[in-house]
Structure 1
Amino acid sequence: MSKAKEGDRVKVYFTGTLEDGTIFGQTHEDEPFEFNIGEKSVLPKFESAVVGMKEGENKTILIAPEDAYGPRDEERMFTVEKSEIPDHITPEIGKKIQVQTGSGEMAILTVLEVSEDKVTFDANDPLAGEELTFEIELLEIVQTEPNE
């Protein structure tokens, strides 16, 4: 049986959990996750864990924050006047708000604090600073590069 390698398209099931057991991502039985190994469309440590796996094989990996979404950056937290927030947005603690940055990219901000006249946001990725555990099952190697 062949092993997954760079250039292969693979289908996997996975469950991603935080240190406290909270599930942050999971595939469903009828919808496996499909990606091309080597295209850097997934976390590098996730991708390298799949390399060498055989169809039907299971693996559990731990990914440190610096190899996932990086450490939490206090400089990515900021406060704005409530008057600067569009009327159609109601800031509530914990709410995630999608905004367009000055460069035209989309970003997700989490509301940390709301006072009478100010709102504090966190622009860190929600998984920044977290150690991630992935349980991975390689379901299928969909296509392989020629010249095996």
Structure 2
Amino acid sequence: MTDSANQIGENSEVILHFDLKLSDGSAVDSTRVNNKPAKMVVGDGSLTPNFEKCLLGLKVGDKKAFSINADDAFGMPNPDNIYHVDRTKFTADTELKEGMIMGFSQPDGSELPGVIRSIAGHSVTVDFNHPLAGQDIIFDVEILKVK
């Protein structure tokens, strides 16, 4: 009989280290950099359902890497999420560079990150797709604690 108390299931509180990498091995994010493990509850929305599925059944001490294709990770880029914004909408002292990520205020007060894709005259192309949309991801985890 296995000890299911230490096994990740629905509503489990989990403390884990994780690394997100692109399929070429380049690092995207890691809790190990600052040695600050992530804490989450399965089903709380902090991870997408496809990332959570990878954790189900794992136990304390487990180390495992999962390859998640772009559709199941952050989705594919949607052309409807790319906007052309007039340069006058940015403050005069805002230095815009291609590839930079900046926050855009939404009507509800929240902020949405957008990537500056190009600047041509007075037109600034801003991509509001997730920066990892279209990327296959390697999700490498180490389970530290399960409650």
Name the TM tier (shorter chain): 0.7 to 0.9
1:1-148 alignment to 2 at 5 Å? 1=3, 2-28=6-32, 30-141=35-146, 143=147
5+ unaligned residues in a row in structure 2: which ranges?
Answer: none
TM-score, length-scaled by structure 2: 0.87
Amino acid in structure 1 at the alignment position of 2:129: N
- 1:14 is paired with a residue of what secondary structure? strand
Task: Report the alpha carbon displacement of residue 57 of structure 1 after superposing the two structures with TM.
Answer: 0.8
5+ unaligned residues in a row in structure 1: which ranges?
Answer: 144-148
Structure 1 distance, partners of 2:128, 2:51, is: 24
Structure 1 distance, partners of 2:119, 2:135, is: 25
Deviation digits for residues 33-74 of structure 1 (CA, Å, limit 9, x no counterpart): 111112232121221211111111111111222222211112
Structure 1 distance, partners of 2:84, 2:43, is: 39
TM-score, length-scaled by structure 1: 0.86
Segments ≥4 residues shifted beyond 4 Å: none
- 1:99 is paired with a residue of what secondary structure? strand
Instruction: Decide which moves more: 90-99 or 75-84.
Output: 75-84
Deviation digits for residues 82-138 of structure 1 (CA, Å, limit 9, x no counterpart): 123222322111111101123433111111111232211111110111111111111
